[in-house]
Structure 1
Amino acid sequence: MAMNNQFTPIEYLVIDHFCSLNELASLISYTPQLRCLILHKGKSNDSNIMVLLSSITLANLKWIYLNLCQTIFNELEIFITKIFPNLKSLSIIESEDITFLDAHRWEQLILNYFSQLEKFYLIYDDYVDNEQKYPIYTRRPN
């Protein structure tokens, strides 16, 4: 939460450094005028994000690009549904959590939280390694 009402007039924010969703939430709590957010190296959270998110409102934010590393879908879902009500464009790049391929979940998320969304991009990229066991996506592609 922003302390002493110290806000910045930043409208476009690009982060090209590893940053957890908690750290990102802390940063954007100081940017109520934010219109565009780009995060190139998002990662999983260390702690509960809900406390901080309840105090953030970014009504001007219309465009988000998140390139996530090792972030689970549930964390992203909580993050984006709490503070981005007026999104027009959402771009997600993810790997390692097969839940991101669940088209029905995305459909429900978009229908219930992003009525103004005009563009949605999802890139799922994963690397197959003989040492690891990967779950198989069993749903029909959509």
Structure 2
Amino acid sequence: MAMYTRVGEGRYRASEHTQGPWDPGSQHMGPVTALLVHELARTAPRPGLHLSRLVVDVFAPVPVAELRVETDVARDGKRVQCLSASVHSGGREFARASAWRIREAGSRPRRSRPVPRNTRARGWARASGTAGRSTGVSSPAAP
């Protein structure tokens, strides 16, 4: 059950499995988002950089049809990359994603602390059915 069939570089044919619940001619955005992430992951990968943030803007319902996905590297730094991908069909743009790749940060292992013997909060008395006795809400005045 493939959602898409690759028909060329950056070109995909959507299957009926991408249909959304409201219109059989329009796709659910879950498969479209997955396709955008797939193409972003393939765009200019670099060791040590990982996709970390994704924003998808939807301009119109994406048709169940042949799609073209265009990708671009907007910023290519030492520690970050900003990528974009857009979905087109019939010469029209339907959705656009932007994503950041960031360098994996090393972290030093922390020494764990011993668990305290008494973990009960100070001044806390066990609940004994007192909830609702004093809510701080006054009753409405009688007419």
TM-score of the pair, normalised by structure 2: 0.23
Higher helix share: 1
TM-score of the pair, normalised by structure 1: 0.23
Higher strand share: 2
**Over alpha carbons, which structure has the higher Rg?**
2
